Amino acid sequence: MATESLQRAYRAPCPGCGAPVEFRSAQSTHAVCGYCQSTVLRQGETLSRIGKMAELFDDHSPLQLQASGIWNNKPFTLVGRLQYKYGEGTWTEWYAVLVDGSSAYLSEDNGAYVFSTPLQTQRDMPGAETFRVGSSTTMGGKAFSVASNNQVALLSAQGELPHLPELGKSFAMVELRSADGAVLSIDYSSQPPEVSIGQSVLLDDLKLSGLRDESVKNEKGQQFNCPNCGATVTVTLASSKSITCGSCHSIIDLSQGIGAELKHAIQDEPVEPLIALGSQGTLQGATWQVVGFQHRMGTDPSDPDEQFGWEEYLLYNLKRGFIFLVDSTEGWSVVKPTTGAPVLSEDGRSATYLGTRYQLKESYSAETSYVLGEFYWQVTRGQKTSNRDFVSGASLLSLEQSANEVTWSLGSKIESDAVAAAFKLEDKKDLLKRSDAGPASAGKKVGCGTIILVIFVILLMLLIMSRCSSCDPKTENCSSSSSRSSGGSYGGFSSGGGHK
């Protein structure tokens, strides 16, 4: 979009180096000089240098400054960028100026995006500590649930901005979500807190132009030596916050960038995925690449000795972001985090989402027991969450809660033959089959051969069950040996949290 389509821009020399610094929005009070990284404060017609900004952590987003698009029939231009860090990684918010001079933000949402605008509230905003994760509240007559409450800090910034938190200083960021997909964010970096509200969008829907020509990582520049064994590790996913070493299977923390001191955790007794990392398959009309794999264990709180397992494959598509392919004893399923927050009943026995009522199937605690590949959030072995699964027909709605975040996901079953066909694994069709294959038709006559086969299967199941009683999840993959239906059958996964 041409500069002339916006209101008249203000330009002045940088107080630090003399290079031109431009302000396109009358609401912008700060800018970061693109040449010397000076932080510039605008007061009327005067610019003053108030410090120097840290270098951006390069997440290789397809977005960049001066990219333009259309939202609600209004042209906009991305003129600023704020990069934040929190306990499990980083995220970026792009500051957009619309053609009428108003402001907006475009931020990531688990591989998708949220486009939001400032919201003027009619009441004083309560302190961040009053928003308990998982609780409900009302804003402007609209019901929301508290999806996350994190301490965050500004990592770096770029371009012009309407406000600029103090670099490195921790402050609260609260995120609320409604049943219809609205995302309300409360930023406590200033007083009164800044509030914005938005909806999930696809990049294609924004009709963006001026994107980066190359949004994939530079392979050579993203190789480093494993901090545990010294083997070469290559990062291929643009937004990775953790990766495993292919040689020693250590989990390596990338949340502070490759140039930072890399933390690692050693993993023993690897679990071998049935679908190899790097494999590509076609699901839901799109091509997906397997970039991550997790083995997780579930425990019934009322019976700690009863454990069950399942596996999750993290799939990535450049335009659609991330989904999960979940493998459990109940079958395969495709799962995606929801933008909206389902409404829980008062007794917690049901949940309603987009007009459909789901009944509670089971509650359990979950723990990550093994990790392979790359993830867009910081994954650690031993991560624990509290999970609840709600079912309606062939669909399952899952609630996963940690101390600072609540994540909902929606899953649907997929036949094992479809998984084999999608990833060209016809030679593994028997290994991929699960209980979703179903029993023989009751209307058919059962012959002697079938009876013998049934007896054989029963004896085999008894053998497997006896083996499972001594199964150690630290040394074995117990997901295929448990007789209990897995709570993670098509929903209970580690999502990496909300868009913050």
pLDDT in tens, 451-481: 344 444 455 555 544 444 444 444 344 433 3
* pLDDT for position 432: 92
pLDDT in tens, 347-395: 989 999 888 999 999 999 999 999 998 888 778 788 889 999 999 998 9
* pLDDT for position 45: 60
% residues pLDDT > 90 (the chain)? 32
Q: Is the pLDDT of residue 57 over 60?
A: no
Point out the least confidently predicted range of 45-59, 125-139, 360-374, 485-499: 485-499
* pLDDT for position 90: 76
* pLDDT for position 445: 33
Average pLDDT on 318-343 reads: 87
* pLDDT for position 117: 95
Average pLDDT on 166-186 reads: 91
Torsion sign across C-alpha atoms 479, 480, 486, 490: positive
Confidence of residue 332 (pLDDT cuts 50, 70, 90): very high
* pLDDT for position 78: 94
Confidence of residue 48 (pLDDT cuts 50, 70, 90): low
Bigger pLDDT: 320 or 434?
A: 434
Q: Record the pTM.
A: 0.65
pLDDT in tens, 108-128: 755 678 999 999 887 788 999
* pLDDT for position 471: 43
Average pLDDT on 280-301 reads: 91
**What 3 state SS string does the chain have?**
CCHHHCCCCEEEECCCCCCEEEECCCCCCEEECCCCCEEEEEECCEEEEEEECCCCCCCCCCCCCCCEEEECCEEEEEEEEEEEEECCEEEEEEEEEECCCCEEEEEEECCEEEEEEECCCCCCCCCHHHCCCCCEEEECCEEEEEEEEEEEEEEEEEEEECCCCCECCCEEEEEEECCCCCEEEEECCCCCCEEEEEEEECHHHHCCECCCCCCCCCCHHHEEECCCCCCEEECCCCCCCEEECCCCCCEEECCCCCCCCCCEECCCCCCCCCCCCCCEEEECCEEEEEEEEEEEEEEECCEEEEEEEEEEEEEEECCCEEEEEEEECCEEEEEEECCCCCEECCCCCEEEECCEEEEEEEEEEEEEEEEEEEECCCCCCCCEEEEEEEEECCEEEEEEECCCEEEEEEEEEECHHHHHHHCCCHHHHHHHCCHHHCCCCCCCCCCHHHHHHHHHHHHHHHHHHHHHCCCCCCCCCHHHCCCCCCCCCCCCCCCCCCCC
* pLDDT for position 493: 44
* pLDDT for position 227: 84
Residues 276 and 413: beta-carbon distance below 8 Å: no
Q: Is the pLDDT of residue 177 over 70?
A: yes
Torsion sign across C-alpha atoms 149, 202, 67, 376: positive
Work out the number of other CB atoms within 10 angstroms of the CB of residue 355.
Answer: 6
pLDDT in tens, 88-110: 667 889 999 999 989 999 997 55
Average pLDDT on 284-308 reads: 89
Point out the least confidently predicted range of 34-43, 62-71, 179-188, 235-244: 34-43
Is the peptide bond prior to 270 cis by the omega test (within 30 degrees of 0)?
A: no
* pLDDT for position 36: 74
Confidence of residue 436 (pLDDT cuts 50, 70, 90): low
* pLDDT for position 307: 86
Q: Is the pLDDT of residue 61 over 90?
A: no
Residues 377 and 111: beta-carbon distance below 8 Å: no
* pLDDT for position 41: 61
| Domain positions in the chain | 3-206, 222-419
pLDDT in tens, 190-237: 989 999 999 988 888 899 998 876 434 443 447 888 888 888 888 876
Confidence of residue 485 (pLDDT cuts 50, 70, 90): very low
pLDDT in tens, 246-275: 888 888 888 766 666 677 777 777 788 999
The segment with the largest mean pLDDT, out of 60-69, 75-84, 313-322, is 75-84
* pLDDT for position 296: 94
